[in-house]
Chains A and B, each alone.
Chain A
Amino acid sequence: MLDRAAREELNMSGEEFLRRWDAGDFEDSDDAAITRVAMLIPFARP
């Protein structure tokens, strides 16, 4: 589910999104799409 959302909304894989999220790449972002995708992280990483 996260992978689908990341590809549709951010044009990246779910794996890449998680890697960049963990690295703090999005900490200063105000992109609503990033926070919407982040909402699905528990589906990929219980």
Chain B
Amino acid sequence: MARAKITLSSGGWGETDGVHALTLNDDKPVKLKGRRPVLLLSIRMQYAIVPTNDPERGPWRVSTRAYAYELQTASGELVVSYHWHPQGGRILYPHAHLGHTQLAEDAVLHQKAHNPTGRVSLESIVRACITEYGVTPMLEDWDKTLTLHENDFLLYRSWS
């Protein structure tokens, strides 16, 4: 789908106190492969490294604290974004924003509206890029790989 480097905040590889942040490519949106017109993906996440009692997974696991996944046009205009940021702001539940470039002038839907969603996994965003937006996967077994990791997310998430 794209080659990208994961960028973590200081201590994000293993410090178990505090909240860490993650982006791709030093927070520069990533061009997705095989998609015309071009589609960019921006990922910002916050997470904590927390103890777990699960003997097969422990003694530590990563727990998501906030996310902002965003698809953009080549010029950086918002297409759609999925947000959850319970640490601040007026809207604390998971929601989606639709970009104004995708909406008619007289549309009821609005860029500033917080459309409620369930909790959205990063894997589901990657899957939607491939199945809904025509992005080319880089792995032949992308479906199996995403399912494997998403099953972990579904099994071990602390809320939904």
Contact = CB atoms under 8 A, between A and B. Distances in A.
A1 B112 CA distance: 25
Interface string B84-101: 010111110000010000
Given A38-B85, A39-B68, A46-B11, A1 B26 contact: yes
Contacts, number: 68
B20 interface: yes
Contact of A29 (B12, B23, B67, B89): B89
Given A32-B83, A46-B18, A26 B45 contact: no
B96 to A, nearest CB: 10
Interface residues of B, number: 30
A19 interface: no
B46 A42 contact: yes
Interface of B: 7, 9-12, 18-21, 23, 26-27, 44-46, 66-68, 70, 81, 83, 85, 87-91, 97, 112, 114
For the complex of A and B, 6 pairs with smallest distance between CB atoms = A42-B21, A39-B44, A42-B9, A46-B10, A35-B85, A30-B90
